């Protein structure tokens, strides 16, 4: 199976070609089509397998038709939320997502703890369709009303098992309570 057979947007295909990805990895072959079809997903995949693109690509494909070139923050609600256990993973996912979303109007941002929250506020307040976050810092931004999650259609729990091991369950529950009940959930462990 090729990326073209997955009927991805030409901008996404061009980005993959520029990266030299000739064909989908096994997790991408298994995950992309079901996510595009609107299914929830429970997947076991380690870092290094191409896991990030397996959820970022179908999510970008789904939210591209809704993307706006307006500068108004209201036109850029968070439509997809990726939760990660650590700053390192969040940054890595965000870097990849930015590369896969190149030349599209979709905005991505990453928030994580351990740094001054003020450095992250302008990006989230400006509006962002794809937000990557560690749970605690996301709650800080929610408390400060920098971000609103009531239009999230896609939730990804990356390294979900590790998030639970690290004691993030109460934070996750608070975040889940703020999301629309009608959404797609993708869980990676």
Q: Per CB under 6 A, does 58 bind ligand AMP?
A: no
- What single string gives the DSSP state of each residue in 88-119? HHHHHHHHHHHHHTTTSS--EEEE-SSS-GGG
Contact present, 183 and 176 (Cβ < 8 Å): no
Helix (H, G, I), strand (E, B) or coil at 132: strand
Q: Per CB under 6 A, does 15 bind ligand AMP?
A: no
Q: Per CB under 6 A, does 47 bind ligand AMP?
A: yes
Q: Per CB under 6 A, does 53 bind ligand AMP?
A: yes
Q: Per-residue x/- mask for ligand AMP, residues 17 to 46, rule CB under 6 A?
A: ----x--xx--x------------------
Nearest to 65 by CA among 98, 36, 105: 105
Q: Per CB under 6 A, does 52 bind ligand AMP?
A: yes
Size of the site for ligand AMP (CB under 6 A): 11
Give the Cα separation of 15 and 19 in Å (integer): 6
Q: Which is nearer to ligand AMP, 22 or 119 (CB)?
A: 22
Q: Which is nearer to ligand AMP, 28 or 127 (CB)?
A: 28
Give bridge partners of residue 156 from the DSSP assignment.
82, 186
Q: Locate tokens 């993030």: which residue? A: 168
Angle of helix 169-176 versus helix 135-143 axis, rounded to 10 = 50
Q: Which is nearer to ligand AMP, 56 or 81 (CB)?
A: 56
Q: Which is nearer to ligand AMP, 53 or 78 (CB)?
A: 53
Q: Which is nearer to ligand AMP, 81 or 147 (CB)?
A: 81
**Residues found near ligand AMP in the complex (CB under 6 A):** 21, 24-25, 28, 47-53
């Amino acid at each position: 199976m090729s990326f073209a057979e997955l009927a991805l947007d030409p901008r996404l295909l061009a980005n993959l070609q520029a990266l030299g990805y000739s064909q989908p990895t096994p997790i991408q072959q298994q995950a992309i089509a079901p996510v595009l079809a609107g299914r929830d997903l429970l997947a076991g995949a380690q870092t290094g397998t191409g896991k990030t693109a397996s959820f970022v690509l179908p999510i970008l494909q789904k939210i591209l038709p809704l993307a706006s070139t307006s500068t108004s923050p209201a036109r850029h609600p968070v439509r997809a939320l990726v939760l990660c256990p650590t700053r390192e993973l969040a940054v890595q996912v965000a870097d990849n997502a930015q590369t896969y979303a190149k030349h599209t109007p979709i905005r991505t941002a990453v928030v994580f703890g351990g740094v001054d929250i003020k450095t992250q506020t302008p990006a989230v307040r400006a509006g962002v369709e794809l937000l990557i976050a560690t749970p605690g810092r996301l709650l800080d931004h929610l408390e400060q009303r920098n971000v609103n999650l009531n239009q999230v259609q896609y939730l990804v729990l990356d390294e979900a098992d590790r998030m639970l091991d690290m004691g993030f369950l109460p934070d996750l529950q608070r975040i889940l309570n703020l999301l629309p009940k009608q959404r797609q959930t993708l869980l990676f462990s």
